[in-house]
Copies of this chain bind each other. A is one copy, B any other.
C-alpha cells in the first residue's frame, strides 16, 4: 500500500485527533502544559510505537519522522488552549476519532503483515495500533482503560484487522480495497456509537 502523500496527510489527521483526545484527558486531570502535551503525544503515537517495537522496526515512526511528533505536540497545545471549544465540536471529534480508528488499524495490520508477522499476530498488532494510544492515555491519567469497559471500539478494530488480513491474503495491493476497509470500520464505529451497542459484562 504505497499511499504516499494522501496517506501521510490522513495519518497526521488521525495523529492530531488522538492527540487532542489525550490532551483533553490531561486537562481534565489538571496536568500542566508539559503533562498535557506528553499525554497527547502518548495517546497519538503510543499505539504506533508499540506496533513498531513488536514488529521489530526501530526506531518507531514517532521518533524517525519528525512530522508525527510535531503534529501530536501542536494538536495537544491547541487542545490545551481551546479545550472549552472542543466540547462544542464534540460530534466532529467523534467522527474524526472513528476515522482514525479505521486508518490506524489498516496501516498497523499492513505494516505487520509486510514485516512477516503471521495473520493472527498481524490482526492483534493492527488492533493494538488503533487502541494502544488510548490505553496509554488512560494509564497515564490513572483510569482503567475505557476501551476495556464498554462500547464497541476495539472489536471494530479487530474485525477490521481481520478484513485487511483477508484482503492482503487475496493478493490485494491497491489503495482502493484498504481505503474501503477503513471507511467500513469508521461507519461501523459510528453506527455502534449512535445505537449505543456494547459488549456484554459478566453476571456478578
Contact = CB atoms under 8 A, between A and B. Distances in A.
Contact of A202 (B58, B80, B142, B200): B80
Interface stretch (A8-16, A62-70, A173-181): A62-70
B140 A145 contact: yes
A137 to B, nearest CB: 11
A36 to B, nearest CB: 7
A49 B118 CA distance: 16
B59 A121 contact: yes
> Quick one: copies of this chain in the complex?
3
Nearest to A60: B54
Interface stretch (A23-31, A97-105, A182-190): A23-31
Interface residues of A, number: 60
Interface in A105-159: 112, 115-122, 124-125, 135, 139-145, 147-150, 154-155
Interface of A: 26-27, 29-36, 38-39, 49, 53-56, 58-60, 62-66, 69-70, 80-81, 83, 112, 115-122, 124-125, 135, 139-145, 147-150, 154-155, 198-202
29 contacts: A26-B148, A27-B202, A30-B202, A32-B148, A32-B199, A33-B199, A33-B201, A33-B202, A34-B199, A35-B145, A36-B202, A38-B154, A49-B54, A53-B54, A53-B58, A54-B58, A54-B63, A55-B59, A56-B58, A56-B59, A59-B117, A59-B121, A63-B117, A63-B125, A69-B120, A70-B120, A83-B202, A135-B140, A140-B145
